[in-house]
Amino acid sequence: MIKKKVYLNTDSEKIKEEILKFMSESPCSDCKGQRLKPESLSVFVLGKNIMEATSLSIDKCYEWINKNAKETKKLSSLNSFSWFSNRTAVTALR
How far, in Å, CA of 86 to CA of 32, rounded?
Answer: 29
Q: pTM for this structure?
A: 0.49
Q: How many CB atoms lie within 10 A of CB 72?
A: 21
Q: What is the mean pLDDT of residues 52-73?
A: 86
Q: Are 7 and 23 in contact (CB under 8 A)?
A: yes
- Phi and psi of 45, rounded to 5°? -125, 125
**What is the structure's pLDDT at 74?**
67
pLDDT digits (tens, 9 = 90+) for 32-62: 778 888 888 888 888 898 899 999 999 999 8
* pLDDT reading at 19 higher than 60: yes
For the cut 80, the answer to whether the pLDDT of residue 12 exceeds it is yes
